[in-house]
Each structure stands twice: as C-alpha cells, then as structure tokens.
Chain A
Amino acid sequence: MPKDYGIGASSKRREDVRFLSGLGNYTDDVVIAGQTYAVFVRSTVAHGRIKSVGTATASAMPGVLAVFTGEDFKDVGGNPAGWLINSRDGTPMREPKRPVLAHGKVRHVGDAYAAVVAETLQQAKDAAQVIADETEIEELPAIVDMAQALADSSNRVHDEIPDNQCFDWGWIEDNRAATEAAFKSAPHVTTLELVNNRLVPNAMEPRASIGEYFPGTGDYKLTTTSQNPHLTRLLIAAFVMGIPENKLTVVAPDVGGGFGSKIYHYGEEALVLAAAKKIKRPVKWVAERSESFLSDAHGRDHVTKIELACDKQGNFLAFRTSTMANVGAYLSNFSTATPTFLHGTLMAGPYKVPHVYVNVKTVFTNTAPVDAYRGAGRPEATYSLERVIDKMCRELNLDPFEVRRKNFLTTDMFPYTTPVGLVYDTGNYQATLDKAMELGDVAGFEKRRVESAKRGKLRGMGLSTWIEACGIAPSNLVGILGSRVGLYDAATVRVNATGNISVMTGAHSHGQGHETVFAQVVAEQLGIPESSIEIVHGDTSKIPFGMGSYGSRSLAVCGTAMTKAVDKIIAKGKKIAAHMLEAAEGDITFADGKFSVAGTDKAKTFGEIAFSAYVPHNYPLETLEPGLEETAFYDPANFTYPAGAYLCEVEVDAETGKVEVCSFTCADDFGNVMNPMIVEGQVHGGVGQGIGQALLENTSYDENGQLLTGSYMDYAMPRADDVPFYTVDASCITPCTHNPLGVKGCGEAGAIGSPPAVVNAVIDALHRGGHTHVTHIDMPVSPSRVWSAMNA
C-alpha cells in the first residue's frame, strides 16, 4: 500500500491550488503605491558603435521621470562571470565587462542601451520609441558564425579580444597524448559532426523586476524573477552596484518557471534599483515576450566533432571531442562553467572507457548571451556520446543495446573515478537498461514496425543511456575548478510556540514543488502532519543565505541542510524533554512525534516541547536556552549521479518526413524518491523539453544577427499533441551514498536523456525504411530536414 504522507507518498502539490486558481503572487502581481514603469531601448542591430543616444526629446516628454544610458553606469561594476576558466596554455579566460546598459557598442539585437522611467507604461514606451528614433548607431558587420568569429580578427565583438575567443579549454590536458595514441592504434574510429541547437528558455512567466528605495533608511528592495535571491543580491551588492548587502533585500515571489534563465543577474535588475533611488519611487519593469526572446540567456549552441575509438566488437577505447561553444555577446554568470565543468566532466558517460579528451573553445558572437538551460552542458555531452555510439553500432553492424551493456560500468566498480575527473559513487546502469527494455517492450518492436509499415510509416527505435552530475556542488571541488562562489545550501527550521513549523530554505521553488516535498521530508522526520509545516523561500530577509535552485540540487543539497537542521531540533527537543521529564538527556528517545524516557511511559509530545520552549517559566537558563529554531548549512561531499535508460519509438511519414513520437519510456535511477508523483512530473517536463529540442525548437539568427525565430510564429514550442503518453519508472534505486536522504535529483534528467533517444529513433526508422545513406540529421529534426535527408 503506498504511503499517504511523508517520504515516498505522492502528496498532492499544495502550491498548485494557488497556481491553478489564479491566486499566485508573481512579480507583475505586486502593485506598489506610486509605482512607475521602466521600458528599455534595445538595439535593433546586432553590432554597432553608439554615436549618440537621443535622450533630449524623450526626457521632456509627458510623464517621463528619468532617462538612463550606458554613460550613467560607466563607473559601476560589470555583471561578473561566476567561473574562471583557464585556457590550455594556462592563460585565464577573457572577461569583457558586461555593463548595466550598453556603452560604446551594442553587441546583439536586444542589447539594451537606454531606459526610460515614466508615470505610465504607455508614456515610457512612447519615450523609448523617440529615443530609438533619435539615437545614432553606426552598424558594424555582425559576427554570427563561430568558426568565422575565431578566424577573423578584423571584426571583434569586444574590441580588446582579437579572435573573439573567451578560452580554449582542454579536459584533461594530461589525457590528451594517451587519447591520441589510443586513436592511432584503434581498430575502428567513428566520427560525427553535430550541432546542439540553441534554445530559448521560454519560461511561462517572462522576467520582471521591481526596484524600491527607502530614503529614510537607505534600504533597497528588489522584487524579481529569480531562482536564487541571495546570489542575485550578492552579485548586485558586491560586483555591480556596490550597495551594502545588508541594505538590499531581494525577494523572488512566485516565479513561473526558470529552466536556468532566471539563475542569472541581468542589467534590468540593477537599472530598476538605480532608478528607484534616483526618483524615490518604486520602478517596475516586466518583459514582453519579444524581449524575452531577445534578452533572456539562451541555452546550448554547441558545434561538436566527436570521435569514438573502439575495437571491432564495439568495446570503447577512447572518446575525443572538439567543440565550439557560443557564449553570445557577453559572459552570463555561469556561461563559462556550462560548456566546461558541466559538459567535459560527463564525457565518459556511464561507460568504462580508458581515455577521454575534451576540447572546448568558447566564442563571443553578436547574439544573445548563452548560459545554463535545463541540463546545462550535460545534455550536450549526452547527445554527442549517444549519437556517436549509435553511429558506430551501425558502422560495425552491432546491436546498440548490447554495445551499451558491455561498455557499462558494473556495480562492483563503484566508487569509480572516471578519466574526466569525477568519482561516481554508485549506480546500476544494467538495471535501468533492463527496465527500459521491459517497459518499452523491445521484444515487440518488430511487430509494431510491420504494422506501421502497412500505414506507410517508417518506425524506428532509439536508445539513450545517460548519466549526469547534479546535486550541485561540492564547494571545495568547484573552487579548485574555478568557481567564484560556494555551492552549499542552507535551511532554518523554526518550531513555533503552537507546535507548527516554518522552514526557511535557501532553495527556491519556481515550479518544482518544494512546498510540498520539503514538508513531506520534515513530516517524516518529526512524525507530525505535513499540514503543520510551511515552507518559506525566496526572500533574503527571511531565509538563510542559500544558493537557490538549479542543477537538480534542491533536495540533495538544501534538503540535506534541512534534515540536518531538523536533527538539531530533535537534539534540542531532547534537552527540553529531559528538563521537563526530570530525566537524563541521554535517556530521552524521539519517535513518532514524542519525546520519551527510555524504558518508561513518561513522554512529552512534540507540541508540548515546542510550547515549553517559548514559555520557559522554569528553565535552567544557564544550561538550556529558550526557543526551538535551528539552522544548518550543508556542503555536499560529491556530486550526485542520477542515470537512466530512455527508449523512444517514432514513426516517420515517408512522404512528408514528419516525425511522430509514438512512445517514450524512461527508466531512471534518482536514488530514493520522496514524492513519486512529482518525480514523474519532473520527468514529463524534462522529456517534453527534450522532444522540443529534438524535433521543434530552432533558434535561428541570420547573417546580420537578426533573430529569425523571435516569436511563437516561428519558434516552435512542444505542445501537448507533440508528445506521447510517457512511461516513467524510478524503481531502479541505488541511493546516493553521501547524503542522508539518499537522493540524487530528477529535475534535469528528462531534458538530458531524451534528445539523443529521439534522434537515434529517427535515424533508425530511416535505415529500416531503406534510407541507409542518412547517418545524421541535426536538431531540430523537422519534417523538411528529414525529407531533405531522405532525398539527398
């Protein structure tokens, strides 16, 4: 019988009641007396030198309260890169300043070079249009293609960076020679060149920010769409604005999805704070969807050559990749970590491969900045590996299931140090593959294929066996690797006098369901009802200094901090119980919500202990403090390593090239599962995004750096009828060995594992249909591309 509360129960998402009934409180729902409206003036050219910004007329227009240009921010700091990467030759990466507003040059379509604040949104828009009309920008040739950008020093995104290269990274440089030697002597080498397509995050709620300034105290408040309010505060305070941290409160209220794009600090946040101070009134900015397309940090955008060396039986000998990763016009906060330590370190996959070498060149272009997007680097690694393995199987006429199976690390090999620097603590890749093959009825495929063929459809099956590193991240390790921040997290558990509990978490929930799941975990630990527990997040004035939510880290890192804080509550409760029951502390046991004296029937309920803590009429104050509130910080000892096997079946319409996903089977190992329903939902969402990347989503800039897919008229998002009913299983469990809950994280898995399964299935369908010349089609595998490949 499934549990109906606590760990392992499919408790219904309590936050959905407000989300689904229109009672959420998103940034744009926050209305402050006297608020004003900011509108940004954005470049319509990809690359240009600002000759003059036409603010004179606009400043005098009705309702206009203030106008800002890059000149106003030239003396404040830039928005920094959070991760220092060194090139292969030891030189540090190039870090051009990313200003609040563009100054001197505009570097991508959508780059904001001015802002207007006015009494009404319409007045601000009117003035912004006049500024745009009266501004003189000398257009320069756009740098869009990465290879050209590297080759042509005469045209530069940043004048001080001659070859438009941020860094040239080798991982691990010491592995290079041995890897090359392995390739030289290998019986077989498969090579594949592929593009991991750029994606626009498209959170349902666009970015929005409200700045407030309180002249009486000199305090600032920023209400903003953030996945990590403390990190945003730190970046604004320490790097960009120089506001003392204790004078700035950052609040991220309900946030409608982020997928990574709301990790980062953006110039708009700094602008509304500066403007609020200048005009002494609240300043609100809400992005329109077109602005989101142009100015949110995009994802992916890798061009990769991957090579696989193996013997004739398909035993892996070495992997080697050479990647160009687009960082866009400026470095976003984690854009240097994503193609490196979230990508190169995963390039061994779940396989025993002796030699791996990864080379990544990051390139500045006149396009929107690129940063982490659901999966962040790990989807790129997985896609490259799982595609090249499939290609090799076809070249050597080997079974793709068996090739993966025989190359898997086996359960007796853990902990296992990979050739790319990670230590996998645990896993069972054979188990998830078996489960996927069973649930996906691999045995019955041929029958289904024949049935499809009768309807003129080419049926194919694709496999992807993936691994990721999440639970981000051990600070000591990432510090060595160049991170400029720690990646611990924190939680405060406050037991109130009446016995209910407020848990303040550093993690931020923007769709994940923390308010439900975190309460389940605490309920289990304390033996009290979930309904007595409230999860508070998203406000730096309430929560401890945590690092927010991304990288499938919330439960593994913040959840662990929370359980440790609860442990402290129990320990303190024992002290109180010992006092109340006149027993020795060591004799007190805690179970089922009761503190008891071992071996007696003397006991106090959790509620009695809580009340006593705040009504300490006869406490021995020298040895027992009143109150029942504890905070814990937790820094993980290692990453966690979720893994799984994904199986996709497609039908390709032989006449039109249209791909239909008929079934998608996921067998995941997420370690222990706290709420199976929410885990399943996370996998649904991730796989939906993965199918979107594989079949639909295409971010296309033309040669002038104009975004051709700047609206939903041309940017294809997956819709309900584009995806199948999923089969999702999380029953293959190898608990994480280094956190007390044994959890690994599930938020990104679907987006990581699914794209290669889809593309492998399409290629399989084409081969089975006789189109054996098609070895690869770049994503999105659109009908037109499939048809062109079939008819090439």
Chain B
Amino acid sequence: MHNFDFVKPSSIAEAVKALSNEGAQALSGGQTLTPTMKQRLAAPSVLVSLTGIAEMKGVCLGDDGLSIGAATPHAVVAAEAAKHYPALAALAGGIGDPAVRNRGTIGGSLANNDPAACYPAAVLGSGATVVTNKRKIAADDYFQGMFTTALEEGEIITGVTFPVPEKAAYVKFNQPASRFALTGVFVAKFKGGVRVAVTGASNNGVFRWSEGESALSSNFSGAAVAGLKVDAAEMIGDLHGTPEYRAHLVKVLTKRAVDAAR
C-alpha cells in the first residue's frame, strides 16, 4: 500500500469538497478499495471516508418506502430492515461474513457495482431509487454494466429508497471460492407486477429477466417459469460455471425465490 492522506468529514458538503481534490477517492466500508490498495493496484492520494456522516446512516421507513443511508453497514440493514422488508434484510445478512457485514456498506456496494454483488439485485429487483448529493436516480437507469454506474465524477450516493413489495425473496447460489453470487436472483411482487433482477450471471452486470417478469406477473408461482429458457449468449463463462450453467441457474433460482417469497 502506498501512503495516502485520510480525511473523515462529518457532512455531505464537506465530503464533496474533499473529493474535489486531485487524487481523492471516496472510502466507505473499504471491502473492495482496501484490498486493491494493499495490492498496489490503486493508489489514491487522499481517502475521503464517508462513514462519519450521520445523515448517511440508518434505516428508516417513510412514505416512499424504506430508506437506507448509504454508509449503513450490511449488518445494520440485516437487523433493522428485518421487520419492514425481510427479503432485503436477509440479503444483507447473507453478504460475506460477519467482518464484511460490519464494515461493508450499501452505498459502497452500489458505487462499485461488482457484477457478482448482492445489493444490485435488491435495488434493481425492488425498483429502488438511488439518492445522491445531486439527484435521484431510478434503479433502471443507475446500473450500466459491470463496475459501471450512472454516477458522475465526485457524485456521492447518500442513500437508497426501496419501495416495499407485497412479497419478495433473494436466492443466491454461491461461487464456491469467493461466495459471491455465481448467480443470484431477487424476485419482488408488487401490486403492479413482478420484478426479477439477476446478479452474478451476466457480462453486462445486474439485469432484469423480463421474460420471467411477465410470466410471473400473470402467475406468481414457480411453475410459471418452468417452460422458459434463458438465453446463455450474454452470460459469464469462467472456471466456476459455463454460460449455459448460469443461464440454467437463473431459471432455477427464480423458481426458488418465488417459492420462498414472503
């Protein structure tokens, strides 16, 4: 790791200002950035911690849904969202291990947009809104491919607001080594229809399985997707699974998520 300066602002405005410095980099839970720096693959000159900003922390049920501060660790979401949005809480409680869940944050996960991360599936599957210091971004506009988002330079995620569905579930199939999602499917049933978001599987990052959504919107049961076939063309193929295997898992996990939804 190279040397760097460290600042820990207590307001969003101060954080934005600190990030305008040359070579500054936002640090939330550090679950990706810190190992990258240790391997000397990243060398920011200033780290701007976002974990000392009170307004970016906490879980709160409001009129728009469940709002979660961007700097809220997974473990807090797992505990505090449980009574409002159990599927989301369960997803947060299944990320990594206790150490990861006590450090890693929802904002950090979304800003990084790892193609195998869990949170993007919940955000896209819920049709949540990503709130930044500048604007509100609909989930459908936010995710733009592997490690790519709608965020602009210096823009900070301050929170996420989740509409709470009637029923939802997230089912993750672990990559055996990292235990990230080899494929993970988040299914959410709203009054107006069903959303199905898939992480881990696609070369384009998290995506909505629209064919599955329409089948489930007319019949919310595992059987509804049994006859569908998921196209393997855009799926990831690596040591841990072929594109065909991941395509297959999308269907299996969707079915299981529907069965588990509550």
Contacts and interface: CB of A to CB of B under 8 A. Distances in A.
Contacts of A131: none
Interface stretch (A27-35, A52-60, A81-89, A709-717): A709-717
A488 B251 CA distance: 60
A714 B241 contact: no
A185 interface: no
B190 interface: no
B245 A787 contact: yes
A125 B240 CA distance: 33
A700 B182 CA distance: 18
Nearest to B97: A719
A788 interface: yes
Contacts of B209: none
Given A696-B176, A700-B239, A714-B177, 7 more contacts: A290-B39, A708-B239, A713-B178, A714-B178, A716-B177, A784-B242, A788-B242
A712 B40 CA distance: 18
A714 B239 contact: yes
- Interface size class on chain B is 10 to 19
Nearest to B241: A784
The secondary structure that dominates the A interface is loop
B173 interface: yes
Residue in B176, B178, B182, B249 whose Cβ sees the most chain A Cβ within 10 Å = B176
Contacts, number: 48
Nearest to A709: B239
Contacts of B242: 784, 788
Given A700-B239, A784-B241, A713 B39 contact: no
Interface of A: 122, 125, 129, 290, 655-658, 695-696, 698, 700, 708-709, 712-717, 782-784, 787-788
Contacts of B244: 788
Contact of A709 (B40, B177, B249): B177
A698 B252 contact: no
A717 B242 CA distance: 21
17 contacts: A122-B2, A122-B3, A125-B40, A655-B252, A656-B252, A657-B245, A696-B177, A709-B239, A712-B177, A712-B178, A714-B177, A715-B177, A782-B240, A782-B241, A783-B182, A784-B240, A787-B245
Nearest to B177: A716
A593 to B, nearest CB: 50
Contacts of B167: none
Nearest to B248: A787
Contact of B40 (A129, A657, A698, A787): A129
A714 B173 CA distance: 15
The 5 closest A-B pairs by CB, nearest first: A716-B177, A716-B176, A784-B241, A713-B178, A784-B245
A713 B248 contact: no
Contacts of A290: 39
A129 B248 CA distance: 44
A192 to B, nearest CB: 24
Contacts of A696: 176-177
B33 to A, nearest CB: 15
A787 B173 CA distance: 14
A714 B178 CA distance: 6
A783 B177 contact: no
Contacts of A657: 245
Residue in B3, B241, B252 whose Cβ sees the most chain A Cβ within 10 Å = B241
Contacts of A714: 177-178, 239-240
A714 to B, nearest CB: 5
A656 B241 CA distance: 11
